[in-house]
Amino acid sequence: MLRLSTKGQYGVRAMYEIARGYPDEPVTIRSISEKQDVSIPYLEQILNKLRHAGLIRSIKGPGGGYVLQRAPEEITIADILFELEGPVAITSCLDPSEGCIRVERCVTHLLWKSLGKQIEDFLNTITLKDLLSGKSYKDFANIINKKKRMAGV
């Protein structure tokens, strides 16, 4: 349950490759394709969205490729996934573009909203830099929990 589509997954992996070239080495689509085992046409579709969102820009011609528009520590996983898959919406009625017609009597509305918030907090906290620095499983949990403690939750 709660699976992420391949677009989101590949998008994050593509951004990881582009981040590795930051700040001065443009990364070609071919090189991303080879390193991450994703077809070039599919990557084009994905990178196109990320470019329109202002997360990356492209440099044409020989020697060109993609580069980050912001530093790796300034780009979160949420930034990437949001562009490729839209907002976290555990249920359709929690999608801002749809809306709920039975909020009042829906006993689970707040439950899903709260779960969505937990997920968003996590995704907003982890950045490309965390990915680059090879964080461990425990590290990721600590990053988010530490942040919450500091926020006084």
Partner DNA sequence: AAATACCTTACTAATTTTGTCAAGTATTTT
Partner DNA sequence: AAAATACTTGACAAAATTAGTAAGGTATTT
Q: Which helix (H) or strand (E) holds 121?
A: helix 109-125
Nearest Cα neighbor of 5 from 76, 79, 78, 85 is: 85
Work out how close the CB of 61 gets to a copy of itself at its nearest, in angstroms, rounded to a whole number.
29
Work out how close the CB of 143 gets to a copy of itself at its nearest, in angstroms, rounded to a whole number.
9
CA distance 66 to 59: 6
Q: Which of 90, 100, 124, 147 binds a copy of itself (CB under 8 A)?
A: 90
The DSSP letter of residue 55 is S
Stretch near a copy of itself under the rule CB under 8 A, chosen from 24-32, 44-52, 53-61, 126-134: 126-134
CA distance 18 to 51: 12
CA distance 79 to 50: 9
CA distance 118 to 3: 16
User: Tokens in use for 15?
Assistant: 């951004």
From the list DNA, a copy of itself, none, partner contacted by residue 129 (C-beta under 5 to 8 A by kind): none
Q: Which is nearer to a copy of itself, 16 or 22 (CB)?
A: 16
User: Tokens in use for 22?
Assistant: 């930051």
Work out how close the CB of 96 gets to DNA at its nearest, in angstroms, rounded to a whole number.
15
- The verdict on 13 binding a copy of itself (CB under 8 A) reads yes
- The verdict on 68 binding a copy of itself (CB under 8 A) reads no
Please give the residue ranges that form the binding site for a copy of itself (CB under 8 A).
1-5, 8-9, 12-13, 16, 37, 77, 81-82, 85-92, 102, 107-108, 110-119, 122-123, 126, 131, 134-137, 140-142, 144-145, 148-149, 153
